[in-house]
Every structure is written in structure tokens, then in C-alpha cells.
Amino acid sequence: MNNRLLFIINFDLREVILVQSILLSLNVMLPVFLTIMLGAFLQQIGILPRRMIRDLNRLCFKCLLPVMLFNNVRETDFRQSFEWHLIAYAVITILLLFMVLVKLVPKFVARPEQQSVVIQGIYRSNYVILGIPIVGNIYAGESIATITMLIAIIVPMFNLLAVYLFERFNGENRHDPAKMAMGIAKNPLITATALGMLYVVSGIQFPDFLNKTLGDLGDTTIPIALMILGADLDLKLENTNVPCLTATVLGKVLIVPLIFLPPAVLLGFRGQALASLLTMYASPAAISGYIMAQNENADYHLAGQIVVITSVISCFTLFVFIAALRELNLI
């Protein structure tokens, strides 16, 4: 009787966990889709016409996205206790993935403006938007310092690699290291990161009115970017590079986590550390990648398609990964 009761309790607990995982995916991802759909609707009724999209995208890239990144960097507490083994594994695997993609993708994708988009779509994830809600839900009531620590390192690295990537595969600069270096140095995201670091090191404090202004501007970035994406989204097959889109989506939501999570388990990562790595590898492609693609003369239509499709599919793949790791008592 006791064994049967224990089996029933365990089954009920697993069922609750699965339901929580499904609700988590919906609660995190539905606002993203609704905002994208709002942008598409506003475009259809003429409130957000296509002639405005380019200018709004430049506003995001030149102003709002740098402000958001500056806020992320300056709000990071670098005095906290870092789990260096976790940081080392995350940094090494992302750099390894990036270097492999830079060498491999051009062999299969002919156009430079698509090469950069495919590479970015696979290695760069929507870590800030999804990582904290997912880990926070899994470990409700506990401190989630592990993922905030990892985000402080990984997100700036994602951006630095993306800036290098778009400069390298820019037809004008790819054979001129000096022009490439200058393009990287002048990029608004690099400037924002450097200013954020300077703010932290200097120890200065902004007055409340300036903090609120910067916070409000940063908070508008993602909603505006999502509405622009929805207004500009084109999923017609005749305008879609189906092989590139398919390979990138599968690489992002399935292949990358399946490659890097098993070694992480073998190395002993458990709990929040493993959950943080899961969200880093398996989250959908970064929304900011679409903004960058349009402003760096890359194939931004493909970039937008990658963001939307990976966001849809990751609702299911993340749920499966979370359920499997919980079933194995790893997170």
C-alpha cells in the first residue's frame, strides 16, 4: 500500500511539474507572440506602415538597444561570488560554437548577408528575456544569483561576437582588418557596453530622475522591436530561403542544446547551473539580432523569420528539455 501510495504521489508530482512547464512556456512566450501580432495588425490597418519600419529600426539600434544594454551592464553586481567553472564552460562552449559556425556556414550558404544571419541565429539566444523567468519559475522562492551572474558575462559576449560577425561578413569590410576594427569600435552596442563598464568602475551614481529616464527608455526596446518585427514579417515561401531557415531553427532549438548539455551533466553541473545553461543554449534566437541585421545590411527578413519560428518551436522544445531534466533529477 505504501509503495502504491508513493507511486501515486510521484506520478501526481510529475504531472504538476509538466503542467507548470507548459504554463511557464505559455506565460513567457505568449506576450512575445501577441506583441508581434500587434505589429502585424498595425501594419495591416496603416498605423505602422512599412515606410516607418526602417526609421524605427534605426531608432532601436542607435538609441533604445544601446540604452537597454547600458542598463544591463551597469546594474550588474560584479562583486558577487562567481561560479568560475560554470562561466568557463559557458564561455568556452559559446566561443567554440561561434568559431565552428564561422568556418562551416560559408561552405553551405553562399551569400554573406545570409551567412551572418544564420551564424547569429544559431549561437545567440534570447537569454535575458527567457532565462530569468524560466529559472525563476523552476526555483520559485529561491535566489537566482547563478543565472544573473551568467547573464552578466554571456550577454555582452553575445553582442561583441555579433558586432564582429556583421563586420566580418560585410561585403565592404571583410577583407580589410582596419575597416573591420573601426566598424566594431564605432558600433553603438560596443559603445554602450564600454560606457556601462566605465559606470561600474567609476562608482558614480546617477540622480533618480536620470535612472528613471534610462530605465523607461530601456523598457520600451523589446516591445517596439517586436512590433517592428511583426510589421515587417514576411513568411511567404517564395521569399524564404527554406534550407537556411530550417537548418538555423533546428540548430538553435535542438542541435546546440543536445551537443552541449550532456557534457555539462557529465562535468557535474546540476540545479540552477544546469538550468541556466539550458536556457542559454535552447532559448529562441535573439530579438536584437533582427534589429542588428537590418541596420548592418544583412538579410533581415531571414533574421526575423528565424526569431519568430524559433520562438514558436522553443515553447515545445524547452518544455521537453525541462521535463526530461526534472525527470532525471538534474534540475
Q: What value does the mean pLDDT take over residues 14-33?
A: 66
> Could you tell me the residue ranges of all domains in the chain?
2-327
**Which pLDDT tens digit goes with each residue over 189-238?**
788 888 888 888 888 889 999 999 999 998 888 888 888 878 887 777 67
Q: Are 134 and 279 in contact (CB under 8 A)?
A: yes
Calpha distance 35→224 (Å, rounded): 9
Alpha-carbon separation of residue 68 from 130, 219, 284 (angstroms): 16, 7, 19
In this prediction, residue 222 carries a pLDDT of: 80
Angle, CA 163 vertex, CA 150 and CA 199 arms, to 5°: 55
Look at 88 and 3; give whichever has higher pLDDT.
88
Can you give the three-state secondary structure of the chain, one letter per residue? CHHHHHHHHHHHHHHHHHHHHHHHHHHHHHHHHHHHHHHHHHHHCCCCCHHHHHHHHHHHHHHHHHHHHHHHHHCCCCCCCCCHHHHHHHHHHHHHHHHHHHHHHHHHCCCHHHHHHHHHHHHCECHHHHHHHHHHHHCCCCCCHHHHHHHHHHHHHHHHHHHHHHHHCCCCCCCCHHHHHHHHHHCHHHHHHHHHHHHHHHCCCCCHHHHHHHHHHHHHHHHHHHHHHHHHCCCCHHHCCHHHHHHHHHHHHHHHHHHHHHHHHHCCCCHHHHHHHHHHHHCCECHHHHHHHHHCCCCHHHHHHHHHHHHHHHHHHHHHHHHHHHHCCCC
User: Would you give the end-to-end CA distance of the chain in angstroms?
Assistant: 29
**Which pLDDT tens digit goes with each residue over 39-63?**
889 988 989 888 888 888 888 888 9
Q: What's phi and psi for 207, nearest 5 deg?
A: -65, 160
**Which stretch of 8-22, 140-154, 187-201, 281-295 has the lowest confidence by average pLDDT?**
8-22
Residue 117 pLDDT greater than 80, yes or no: yes
User: How many residues comprise the chain?
Assistant: 331
In this prediction, residue 6 carries a pLDDT of: 44
Q: What is the CATH number of domain 2-327?
A: 1.20.1530.20
Q: pLDDT tier at 15 (50, 70, 90 boundaries)? A: low
Q: Are 113 and 301 in contact (CB under 8 A)?
A: no
Calpha distance 38→64 (Å, rounded): 20
In this prediction, residue 7 carries a pLDDT of: 44
User: Among residues 44, 101, 78, which one has the least CA distance to residue 232?
Assistant: 44
**Which pLDDT tens digit goes with each residue over 136-190?**
777 766 766 777 778 778 888 898 899 889 888 875 545 567 777 777 777 787 8
